[in-house]
Structure 1
Amino acid sequence: MTEPSFSIPTIRLKPKSNARAIRHGAPWVYDNELVTDRRTKSLAPGSLARLEDAERNFLALVAVNPNSRIFARVLDHSETAEVDQDWFAARIVTALAHRETLFDAPFYRLIHAESDGLPGVVVDRFGDTCVVQPNAAWADVLIAPLAAALREVTGVSTVVMNGTGRARGLEGLEEKTEILSGKVEGPLPVPMNGATYMADLLGGQKTGLFYDQRPNHAFAQRLVAGKRVLDIFSHVGGFALASLAGGASSALSVDSSAPALDLAEQGAAAMGKSDTFSTRRGDAFDVLTALAEEGETFDVVICDPPAFAPNKSSLEKGLRAYERVARLAAPLVREGGYLGLCSCSHAADLDRFRGACNRGIGRGVGHLGRSAQLIHTGFAGADHPLMPQLAESGYLKALFYRIVA
């Protein structure tokens, strides 16, 4: 059989690879699922290719990266698709319609990677600014038409590329942050759940702010009126500022990053809440231990750590860390108070995370004659849609407990 002539190369699944999964929406093809030779291994990272099954039937237009375990990412199931500004714009239009249905102000996650048809691409919107995280090689290569499409569809004037983070390292990409259009003049105020957060779009973590916790912040606000709140791993104010907006009598933010705590203080000042807001810099585990030794207790304690289990190889170590957080935090909750425990580790599924938290709480307060009621399980907001064929897109879990006698 003579192979057809196309302007882009062809890659092919091995005979026993699951072509049906690709047809049914699976977005990734791993390197061990493909027939690889010198030709395929020499493809430029970020280049496009035709993906065929073992019988040479077309499956999808894909972006390839021989430097990544995820060798191919599905972009389109049309054999005639052209990945240009118009192609990007069509996907952004679809994503924007959903966000404009959800929110009355342009502050949200606009593109949630594979779930919005742009694999490896995250875009958060901050009013007139979009921050793009191109966490896959193809998005680096095509950043210009992507940025142009963002401006065309949303009308924003400023587009920032934040090319930092662990995901880019897995793709073999360098870290770089640059303003692609417009300008950024210092931290940007972001309204969310009645609070004001200050987002550093150039030097902050990820895109500068975490929108995914919005519904969990809102739930916490129902628990905090007139109460004293402790927010561990608070980043730029997280649950603490949301709690103050919800009527908390005071909130203490703990984080290891001085710049993040400075931004939290700016947010509290913008809300007129500086007198009821305080910060404490240090390692979270050390501070939790010190607060217990100081005899401190709080009505509400919420812990929102970084991903302790970012992959399967770190799962057991990560679960022990989540258990330790719960063990140290639970005794700081007054009887009848509330404990919130969060995980953004996709490798730690809900059952494993909940098990670790339950064990930690038991070890933390069982000897005090207390127990816990699990009252609420939260996830990321609807601007972070979950792709049914990709469990990794549903990474965030938030468990809220009531500590009782």
Structure 2
Amino acid sequence: MTTRPTVRLRPQANARRIRHGFPWVYANELVTDRRTKALAAGSIATLEDNDRRPLATVAITPASKIICRVLDLDPNADIATDWIKARISAAYTHRERLYDTPFYRLIHAEADDLPGVVIDRFGDVAVMQPNAAWADQLQDVLADALVEVTGVTTVIKNASGRARSLEGLDEENAVLCGAAPDFIEVPMNGAIYIADMIAGQKTGLFFDQRDNHAFVKSLSQGATVLDVFSHVGGFSLAALAGGAASAVAVDGSAAALDLATRGADLAGFADRFKTRQGDAFDVMTQMQQNGLGFDVVICDPPAFAPNKNALDAGLRAYERVARLGANLIVPEGGYLTLCSCSHTATPDKFRLACVRGIGRAGRRAQLIRTGYAGPDHPQHPQLAESGYLKALTFRIF
């Protein structure tokens, strides 16, 4: 292995935290001399503590607030094909134990020991987001390892998202191997979802809500259902699979609603499914003004609080969603599921915002379930950001 650069922690940095598995080094924890600043983004380096004792193998991005990502606690680890294959193989073994169909999140970044890398599997197709500079540079090695370990035949690079811009990376999508289909049918919870492989959000479908979809499905026999911020019909199609009398999907994207309609048609739900395009807040307000009510309402908005600076405004938005959603539950009562994918909105803060919103609607509630992402989205035990998803289901009176 060729000699590689070394970088060193500042005296005030907590080396023990790194030894115990914390996966990041922040810019204010690292000695950033001229030599360190000159390193190319994505460079593999040896991290030393303040006494120059080797700590770990890291990838460095000098311009990022997360200046180092810990790749391996072995300071001499060779970050090459065999290393990558071993990480993918360990993650693959876990998913194959969980699911009997090849549709799941295969790699969940730091929690699967591949920092900054997200990979979702859609049968023979894998969609990869190399959101860190080191992974972007090794994208072909990652793709080859994916094919060898899992047997997929197509690997698509999705370069959208805020994380890549923070690393100074481009937004250019690419097919790294194989031939990419435009759409893939994904069976899940008795429904059929249509994933857009090329122009869809993120990797084309959100697998993280699988278990929360299943719970809403269990509540939906004979129910009227409203699915707000529906994307491709995640909750509404699952509810129809559970025997819902009807479901309405609301989203701002006509393309997403078209895919939801296609999924409903394929599953035989078309006669019970409707869509409404528009701003979710406006649509919910209009529905309330028109006296509409539903037995089950789900609101799964985008991240209203993507960072700490947006937290206060984000919590107010979640409170407003809760108020509007509670107002649309039929007077005799029903169920309201409220979701957040903002890691800065901690479970306690999100729950309190939801409770305030329900109270402002003049309704009472029982919290009957707290849900998170499924087990194919493991949480890194030292990284709160990896436990971003919360789904609270209330019984409304």
TM-score band by shorter chain is: over 0.9
CA distance in 1, matches of 2:64, 2:160: 17
Give 2:366's aligned residue.
373
Query: In the alignment, does 2:295 pair up with 1:299?
Result: yes
Letter in 2 for 1:25: G
CA deviations on 1:314-353 (whole Å, 9 max, x unpaired) are: 1101000000000111010012200000000000000000
Per the TM alignment, residue 38 of structure 1 is displaced from its structure 2 partner at its CA by 1.3
Give 2:15's aligned residue.
19
CA deviations on 1:190-244 (whole Å, 9 max, x unpaired) are: 0111110000011100000000000000111111101110000000011000101
CA distance in 1, matches of 2:178, 2:272: 37
3-state SS, counterpart of residue 173 of structure 2? strand
Distance 1:69 1:79, change over 3 A: same
Query: In the alignment, does 2:267 pair up with 1:267?
Result: no
Indicate which of 335, 340, 343 corresponds to 2:337.
340
Indicate which of 381, 387, 395 corresponds to 1:394.
387
3-state SS, counterpart of residue 163 of structure 1? coil
Letter in 2 for 1:88: I
CA deviations on 1:302-323 (whole Å, 9 max, x unpaired) are: 0000000111111101000000
Letter in 2 for 1:186: D
CA distance in 1, matches of 2:2, 2:202: 38
Query: In the alignment, does 2:92 pair up with 1:96?
Result: yes
Per the TM alignment, residue 6 of structure 1 is displaced from its structure 2 partner at its CA by 6.8
Structure 1 range deviating more: 51-60 or 79-88: 79-88
CA deviations on 1:96-117 (whole Å, 9 max, x unpaired) are: 1110110001000000000000
CA deviations on 1:272-298 (whole Å, 9 max, x unpaired) are: 111111100001101110111111100
- For 1:167-246, list aligned pairs within 5 A: 167-246=163-242
Q: Could you tell me the TM-score, scaled by structure 1's length?
A: 0.97
CA deviations on 1:232-275 (whole Å, 9 max, x unpaired) are: 00000110001011110111000001110111011101101111
Give 2:357's aligned residue.
360
Contact 2:47 2:75 in 1 (8 A): no
Letter in 2 for 1:68: S
Give 1:125's aligned residue.
121
Indicate which of 30, 33, 40 corresponds to 1:44.
40
Give 2:136's aligned residue.
140
Query: In the alignment, does 2:251 pair up with 1:255?
Result: yes
Letter in 2 for 1:376: R
Q: Which runs of 5+ in 1 are unaligned?
A: none
Indicate which of 365, 373, 384 corresponds to 2:377.
384
Per the TM alignment, residue 171 of structure 1 is displaced from its structure 2 partner at its CA by 1.2
C-alpha RMSD of the superposition: 1.0
3-state SS, counterpart of residue 147 of structure 2? helix
Give 1:63's aligned residue.
59
Indicate which of 254, 267, 281 corresponds to 2:277.
281
Contact 2:9 2:49 in 1 (8 A): yes
Per the TM alignment, residue 130 of structure 1 is displaced from its structure 2 partner at its CA by 0.4
3-state SS, counterpart of residue 48 of structure 1? strand
Per the TM alignment, residue 80 of structure 1 is displaced from its structure 2 partner at its CA by 2.5
Letter in 2 for 1:139: A
Per the TM alignment, residue 78 of structure 1 is displaced from its structure 2 partner at its CA by 1.5
Aligned-residue identity in percent: 65
- For 1:140-159, list aligned pairs within 5 A: 140-159=136-155
3-state SS, counterpart of residue 284 of structure 2? helix
3-state SS, counterpart of residue 335 of structure 2? strand
3-state SS, counterpart of residue 68 of structure 1? coil
